[in-house]
Amino acid sequence: MKIDRNLIIGTVGLILTGICGIFSLGGNIGLTLLSALFYIIAAAAILLIYSYLIPRFVGINADWLYYIPFAVMLIVSRIILGWDIFMPFYAAGIIAVTLDIYTRYKSKTLQGTLAIAGAGTASIILFAIISLCGGVVL
Amino acid sequence: MERNSNFKTDFLKSAYTIGELCVHPEHAYKKSNSEYIFAGILFPCLTYFLFALNLGLERQSFLSSATGFKTLLLVFFGIIVGFVTSIALTGVAYLAGRAVDTEINGFRFLGSIEYSFGFSLAIELIGLIIRIITSANTTSSFGILGIFIALVFIFRCILDLSEEKKYICVLFSILGGILTLLGLNILFFASF
């Protein structure tokens, strides 16, 4: 996997999202630590899917700049506005990245389209399951 | 009879154009017909109307002080917030265009912002229907997500303003996002 500026932006965005997710968790310290570990694994898996598997499959790399506004909005909502909402920001960010890949994907074959849509759906479901298990009200 | 047929054809043509603009909001910028831009203002207003109605119904379910009249006021306030938010986002996009040396027509860009709320309107409607049928809390899962889906399209329009100065466009997108959050925050904590 080539380490470039785009990948660093994606990693930072997903780490910030994971940290905000951990602060939204309810329950005891053990469950929170376990969920935090799963968030890290999920973030790594999503980066692997979007910056390695998808480019190999459809030839287009994810542009993580589309995710950044939602990550920053999540932090603003959490710290300044005091909201306890986490999933809509993450879901919208992933939809933005997925939509960008699909827009730049010129050949639009059925397999490629299904792979892009599947990556987006799986990424959202992965975070949603971890959040639900950790006690976040979706 | 012929006039009736012409009316039907024109109506279907307009409905098709509006549907196409909701899927590709960036195409609204190319439309010079101002009637589409004026008609498009319904999308953000209706989206925020449904969001505020969902929020008002949620308040009524757990707050004893929440009455039908207060929900009505919240809904009216929601329409105003929707209108102001779309204007504010257009202003941000215009400033972004100035910052990256891309000349944009603010009035036409308003069309793109308005039609970005097309999908959001559908999501808000689905959320409201689910709330009415199941009494589930859909303000966060459908309400906020619906408005963020509009931001996905709006941010795309802003980020596409410049390929070289994309980082500046990201900063303006963040500014637009924060303004939208402030609008939602006003609705959340409106003391009606």
Number of domains in chain A: 1
Q: Enumerate residues 76 to 95 of chain A having a beta carbon within 8 A of any beta carbon in chain B.
A: 76-77, 81, 83, 85, 87-89, 91-92, 95
Spell out the residues 6+ positions from residue B151 whose beta carbon is closer than 8 angstroms to its own. Answer: A69, A70, A92, B116, B176, B177, B180
Chain B positions in Cβ-Cβ contact with residue A24 (cut-off 8 Å): none
Distance CA B135, CA A87 (A): 20
For residue B94, the model assigns a pLDDT of 92
State the sign of the Cα–Cα–Cα–Cα dihedral B62, B129, B22, B168. positive
What ipTM was predicted for this assembly? 0.88
Distance CA B34, CA B28 (A): 10
Report the greatest alpha carbon distance in chain B: 57
Question: For residue B97, what are the CA distances in angstroms to A32, A50, B34, B37, B154?
Answer: 44, 30, 21, 20, 13
Full residue range of the structural domain in which residue A19 is found = 5-134
Any A CB within 8 A of B136 CB: no
Q: Which residues of chain B have pLDDT under 50?
A: none
Total-model pTM:
0.89
Share of chain A above pLDDT 70, in %: 93
Distance CA A81, CA A104 (A): 35
Summarize pLDDT for B159-186 with one digit per residue, the tens: 988 888 889 999 999 999 999 999 999 9
Average pLDDT value for chain A: 86
φ, ψ for residue A26, nearest 5 deg: -110, 170
Rg (CA), chain B: 18
Summarize pLDDT for A72-127 with one digit per residue, the tens: 999 999 889 988 888 899 999 999 999 999 999 888 889 989 999 999 999 999 88
